Structure 1
Amino acid sequence: MNTAAQKLALAASLLLASAGARADEVQVAVAANFAGPMQKIAAAFEQSTGHKVLQTSGSTGKFYAQIKAGAPFEVLFAADDETPAKLEAEGAGVPGSRFTYAVGKLVLWSSKADRVDSKGEVLKKGDFAHLAVANPKLAPYGQAAMETIKALGLTDALTPKFVVGENIAQTHQFVATGNAELGFVALSQVQEGGSFKSGSGWIVPASMHAPIRQDMILLEKGKGKPAAEALMKFMKTDAAKAVITAAGYSL
């Protein structure tokens, strides 16, 4: 092989090595309510950067326990702002990396059209057997649901009707399958293009519960990892924000 050919081969190998170094994977823990939008964001991120997103969805409370137990997650998309702050304070999150990526909206939803009125009066009528709510100890949307029920003065009347989901995804499933006539779910799960994909619902006024600020944070296992740090930056781009707002969140 002559010198020119050797240089060309060396340059090609270096280029491939560089590309391999740039292409990386990021282990992401995503709150169940954000799983759908995250799939779209991940696709755009992968196309833009070459990095691959390995996504696991579930309840924020369980993710906290798993992260503290050493789970390999590098980025957390929480359904609240308290868990990322706690992880940062406890040394499991990178200081200064967390920020609010979305503000969630709670909705009382039924899979049946005209079942839920525009003011949520159906809750006061009580002509239903089951009301699905996410576990308030694990899921911030469940906590928001409990605050809403309390604000309506219906805690005692509705508690016997509760069907409790481990996370907001399971809660939505209870209602979608008819195992519960009604349920408090994330608007992002049932909205598309500004209207309900199916069924009927009441968007709960934000004044009836604490704001559902959803923060993300770079975890210690993701510190210095190209894909993890690139994803943190990508979430602040117009492309990511467009997906978030289209899914029914505020910024």
Structure 2
Amino acid sequence: MKLWHGIVAALVAAWSLAASAAQVQVAVAANMAAPMRRIAADFARATGHEAVLVPGSTGKFYAQIRAGAPFEVLLAADDETPARLERDGLGVAGTRFTYATGRLVLWSADPARVDAQGAVLRRPPAGKLAIADPKLAPYGAAALEALRGLGVLAAWQPHLVQGESVGQAYQFAATGAAGLGFVALAQVMAEGRIARGSAWIVPSSLHAPLKQDAILLKPGQANAAAAALLDYLRSDAARATLRGYGYQF
């Protein structure tokens, strides 16, 4: 009898979870694509809600949201875009917060190409250097800042190839279209280590902090799944995942 009651209780709990489950449409900065896939899976197991992820560049998301795109949550690659959306009346006031601080990394698919001090940038340029479009992607703007701070921007400028997002910049470097790429540490790190290739983590002093903010957008104001996802991003479980990809808090 006790076993039967336990089965009934489990079925009722599962039914209740399914009945209250909902979807949330999430615009995700490209640097967050991999960790958010893991977080979304954990979020679904914990809450029953489904986070539908659309990765892309923060600047492009801003234009799409202003044009009426039905995103309910924005996970940006900066803190300025969510603040602008809040001022524009397109984000829900009081919901904006910094969910992580990213790190910029110089990376190559060649395990011998990038040294631990980034001295490869001070040698005469050989091949292409991929960056995200600095007008659309904060990681691209940070890459230009770093090159300028090192005094090598003029030398590398003719060798730059721009991707729309840091995701595309990574693709250029990963496929060999560019020998080097300034990408997000999260794109090349897993479980606390560089997964493949060679990398130099750019000192934070060489660029403005890559504070990444989240905000609830007006289309998600009445969606319980949207509010639940923002709460989950503050959880120890979500932060542990993000730390494994090199994010800081």
Which residue of structure 2 aligns with residue 48 of structure 1? 46
- For residues 87-98 of structure 1, the aligned pairs below 5 Å read 87-98=85-96
1:20 positional shift? 5.5
Q: Select between 123-132 and 42-51 the one with higher mean Cα deviation.
A: 123-132
- What's the TM-score once normalised by structure 1's chain length? 0.92
- For residues 178-193 of structure 1, the aligned pairs below 5 Å read 178-193=176-191
Indicate the RMSD between aligned Cα atoms, in angstroms. Answer: 1.6
1:76 positional shift? 0.2
1:64 aligns with 2:67: no
Any stretches of 5+ residues in structure 2 without a counterpart? Answer: 1-10
Question: How many residue pairs end up in the alignment?
Answer: 238
> Does structure 1 retain, via aligned residues, the 8 Å contact 2:125–2:159?
no
Q: Distance in 2 between matches of 1:21 and 1:142?
A: 43
What is the CA deviation profile of residues 129-185 of structure 1, one whole-angstrom value per residue up to 9, with x for unaligned ones? 200010000000000000000001111111000010110111001001111010100
- For residues 106-145 of structure 1, the aligned pairs below 5 Å read 106-145=104-143
Pairing partner for 1:77 from 41, 58, 75: 75
- What's the TM-score once normalised by structure 2's chain length? 0.92
Which residue of structure 2 aligns with residue 163 of structure 1? 161
Any stretches of 5+ residues in structure 1 without a counterpart? Answer: 1-11
Taking only the aligned residue pairs, the percentage that are identical comes to 56
> Does structure 1 retain, via aligned residues, the 8 Å contact 2:125–2:156?
no
What is the CA deviation profile of residues 170-201 of structure 1, one whole-angstrom value per residue up to 9, with x for unaligned ones? 10010011110101000000012332111111
Which residue of structure 2 aligns with residue 26 of structure 1? 24
3-state SS of paired residue (1:173): helix
> Does structure 1 retain, via aligned residues, the 8 Å contact 2:17–2:48?
no
> Does structure 1 retain, via aligned residues, the 8 Å contact 2:86–2:92?
yes
Q: Distance in 1 between matches of 2:49 and 2:191?
A: 29
Structure 1 residue ranges (4+ consecutive) displaced by more than 2 angstroms after TM superposition: 18-21
When residues 191 and 182 of structure 1 are mapped into structure 2, their CA distance, relative to the original with a 3 A threshold, is same
Q: Distance in 2 between matches of 1:77 and 1:194?
A: 22
